[in-house]
């Protein structure tokens, strides 16, 4: 589930970079994040997918900040790269 979330999130973010559509992003985000929240709601912090789930949600937050035009911190690119690295190794 988390790998699919990551793939869909990255694909939509790339689309938004070339053709921004705030309404589409909001609807996409609400649907995708609800599914992730439901998936992780009862997850024990020691569960092997707890750490990747954290990175999946953090990646969405970072993408969302960029699309909103927020002033990005110097660590933004490093956080995105770290989250993508963690999520890329999932099967």
pLDDT score at 65: 92
pLDDT digits (tens, 9 = 90+) for 3-24: 889 999 999 999 999 999 999 9
Q: What pLDDT digit, counting tens, does each position of 63-77 carry? A: 999 998 899 888 999
* DSSP-assigned letters across all residues of 63-78: HHHHHHTPPPPTTHHH
Model confidence pLDDT, tens digit, residues 34-65: 988 888 888 888 988 888 999 999 999 999 99
CA dist., res. 31 & res. 21, Å (int): 16
């Amino acid at each position: 589930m988390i790998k699919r979330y990551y793939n869909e999130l990255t694909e939509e973010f790339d689309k938004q970079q070339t053709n921004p559509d705030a309404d589409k992003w909001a609807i996409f985000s609400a649907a995708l994040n609800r599914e992730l929240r439901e998936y992780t709601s009862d997850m024990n912090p020691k569960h092997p997918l707890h750490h990747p789930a954290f990175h999946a949600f953090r990646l969405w937050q970072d993408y969302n900040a960029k699309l909103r035009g927020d002033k990005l911190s110097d660590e933004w690119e490093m956080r995105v790269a770290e989250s993508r690295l963690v999520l890329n190794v999932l099967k």
